[in-house]
Amino acid sequence: MGALQTLILSPVELVKIRLQLEETGHKHRRPGDHHGPVDMPRDILRREGLRGIYRGLTVTALRDTPAHGVYFWTYEYARERLHPGCRRGGGESLATMLVSGGLAGIASWVYCYPLDVVKSQLQVQAFPATRYRGVVDCFRRSVREEGLPVLWRGLVMTVVRAFVVNSAIFSAYELAL
């Protein structure tokens, strides 16, 4: 599932990251040009081609494929630990669903966060001004230039959000069943 979703997710995240940078004044275009969620992918395709719109695809797949395994495994493990036998008999409490979902979100992000940082750095690049030659080069240079903490920058807010969002997602799913 993680590998398949990257075909859609990678271009969406690319556009999101570039729009965020544009909002903070780090322009990929000439001053005065306006972008939006429709203009940005069109501009990337025109300037960088299909390769540009899929910049970061490999690292997104490397991030998401194992992270989904961690995500679902953690959810099921936490559910069973908090409410033994719940898979067979059901009836676990809302608190069990909320905590298990939240822990699953945290575990998957902690597991894949360094790759997410590398993905974002690769996606910020605009052709022809590419700084990194690929995933490994980006990883090595980032750690060499900024130290290991660069791979964890922003993790605290990400896991706080992940707990809340995934608590709600898994609980809604289980209750809908």
Q: Which two tokens stand for residue 111?
A: 């597991």
Which of 90-94, 151-155, 164-168, 172-176 comes out lowest in average pLDDT? 90-94
pLDDT tens for 118-147 read 999 999 887 667 889 899 999 999 999 999
**Residue 72 is part of a domain; what is its CATH number?**
1.50.40.10
Proportion of the chain above pLDDT 70, given as a percent: 90
Q: Are 155 and 109 in contact (CB under 8 A)?
A: yes
Contacts of 106 (CB under 8 A, 6+ apart): 159, 162, 163, 166
Give the separation between CA 118 and CA 149, rounded to whole angstroms. Answer: 13
Tokens 């709600």 belong to residue: 168
Structurally, how many domains does the chain consist of?
Answer: 1
Domain limits at 150? 2-176
Q: Are 126 and 48 in contact (CB under 8 A)?
A: yes
Q: pTM, whole model, 2 decimals? A: 0.84
CA-based nearest residue to 154, from 129, 131, 121: 121
Quick one: 125 exposed, middle or buried, by C-beta within 10 A (0-12, 13-18, 19+)? middle
Residue 47 CA, chain-centre distance (Å), reads 25
pLDDT band for position 168 (cuts 50, 70, 90):
very high
